[in-house]
Amino acid sequence: MELNHFIINAINAKERQHNISSVFHRLGLEPRFFPAIMGNQLTKDQIGHYVDDGGLLTLGEIGCALSHLSIYKKFLQTNEKYIFVFEDDVEIRDDFPQLAPAVADFIGNQKKGAVLLLYKAKAHTRKVQSIGQSSVHILRSMAGSAAYGYVINRVAAENILKAQPPLAFEIDAWALYYKLLYLDIFCLDQNVVFLNQELANASLIDAVDNRHTRSSRDIKKIKDYSFQRLLRRYSWEKRLFVEYKRLERHIDSLFYDEDY
């Protein structure tokens, strides 16, 4: 089958490239690689140009986010409605080729920005629809994290690209994008894509920089400041609408499942 996708892979990570190639070939797919941007290879001037994060992000997180954003730019140069994005430390279930067309159609036909995580999000969720005759269901989610396997549509990619220069958050700040009305979050009720934990623990991208020692309070303060900075780009009418949607989500959460 044809699958519009990219796999983010560090050029020197040959073992990971071999592993994910084997996974894709087993599924009858030809892997399409995107060379990862390595944060430790960026100059101070480049980081100063691309990043304004208040000290939130590690070099690994910066490189990771810039890699995903670069994929969005390439995606938007095409006429495709969606793109699947994978990181190179994943495993994929054997039934993925049967599920992927329905997942792609669902996201590609969303009028608003939308992302669908190819695993079960740890969040309030609500069932939307089943995928064909399979036991897998698409869920609407109120939050989500991680970016190792997902599909995103054009509107969502455009919105994130407008929000993230300068880079202020991890690329997988799905809940924050959701709160700013950039996209709706969907996920699956089963992990169709999941991490190869051994490879994930040995990530070259994540190993380029030690995580800064920060308290959760400091992290929240930085993120709140960056959120407000993005919110100030809106007209006062749209800011009121964001607040209205926040209250609506709070009410909606009463009718969502809490199995996380």
pLDDT 10s digits, 52-75: 988 889 999 999 999 999 999 999
- Statement: residue 120 has pLDDT above 50: yes
- In percent, the amount of the chain with pLDDT more than 90 equals 72
User: What span, in angstroms and rounded, lies between the C-alpha atoms of 23 and 237?
Assistant: 48
CB within 8 Å of 195: residues ≥ 6 apart: 89, 90, 91, 148
Does the domain formed by 5-255 have CATH 3.90.550? yes
In the prediction, which pLDDT does 219 show? 85
Nearest-CA neighbor of 81 among 123, 114, 35?
A: 114
CB within 8 Å of 251: residues ≥ 6 apart: none
Nearest-CA neighbor of 123 among 145, 139, 137, 143?
A: 143
Q: What is the pTM of this model?
A: 0.91
In the prediction, which pLDDT does 209 show? 53
Q: What residues does each domain of the chain span?
A: 5-255
Using one digit for the tens of pLDDT, what is the confidence trace for 195-213? 987 777 665 555 555 555 6
pLDDT band for position 260 (cuts 50, 70, 90): very low
